[in-house]
Amino acid sequence: MRKRRHSEESTLHHPGVRLLAWPDNHRRCEPAGGRRTQAAGGAIQPHRQAHAVRIRGTVQDDFNRAGGTNRLTPLNFLTGSAATVGPYFLYGVLKDISYNYGFDADYAFGTQVTLFAEYSRDNYHKRMITRNRNPVSAPVTILTCTGCDSANNDWESVAREPVDIYTVGVDTYFGKKAYFTTNYSLSAGKGNVFSRPLGDPTITTGPNQFALIGTNSATNYPETANRNHELVVVFRYKLTERLAPKIEYHYQQ
């Protein structure tokens, strides 16, 4: 988060406290979708040696809109009190939502050494609707086959992926010419995809036969996990006012 840049800043009338804020924005991202973004942050400096910043933000894409490139009427097979999900007007991604929050803090030991720590949490959420289709061969058509192309075989998937990022480090200045910094970061995330059928499993014959059974079942995917470790070391030396060579090393695992 030390690399984040805030595009709009307003100052509170309180010593050592600043509020970084962005207005709630809405814009169309395509004919059948809408995007909502929001971000805010705050900084506090209780005294000269300590400083802390907190941020949060979200980006929300909603493609489930009637009309445009989508259907004007819902695609649901089950409606009313029998509906297993709210109305949807397209197949594929209906909503794509991400939000994050975090903070960083640093403490200066005089003018030469500064310790810093950071934490952020990113959450990704995606909702999708898919239809199970089976190929046909003559004389059967897609309209007369048993469960080959029916909204009764639609299924929903929800993907969730939280990511936690931790960073600690130290900045060291040697007089006015030399600068040395090192930091360690850990990124830990896991992913889940939850799936479920949206149709009526009691329909066992005809064009709307329920086919999401056996190997075609709408089941949850196995959980995935990843961890990334990174160590960064940077040394810079100021030779002249305009020349300051830098050596930087990154190690990832």
* Residue 218 φ/ψ, nearest 5 degrees: -85, 95
Cβ–Cβ < 8 Å for 190, 162? yes
Query: How many helices and strands (H and E) does the chain possess?
Result: 0, 10
- The secondary structure element, H or E, covering residue 157 is strand 149-174
Domain boundaries, the chain: 21-252
What tens-digit pLDDT sequence spans the chain (253 residues)?
A: 444 333 333 333 333 333 333 333 333 334 346 788 878 888 877 767 777 887 889 999 999 999 999 999 999 999 999 999 999 999 999 999 999 999 999 998 888 899 999 999 999 999 999 999 888 778 877 777 877 889 999 999 999 999 999 999 999 999 888 999 999 999 999 999 999 999 999 999 888 999 999 988 999 999 999 999 999 999 999 998 889 899 999 999 9
Global pTM value: 0.73
CB neighbours of residue 33 within 10 Å: 20
pLDDT of residue 71: 93
The token duo for 110 is 């005089």
- Rounded to the nearest 10°, the torsion over CA 20, 21, 22, 23 is -160
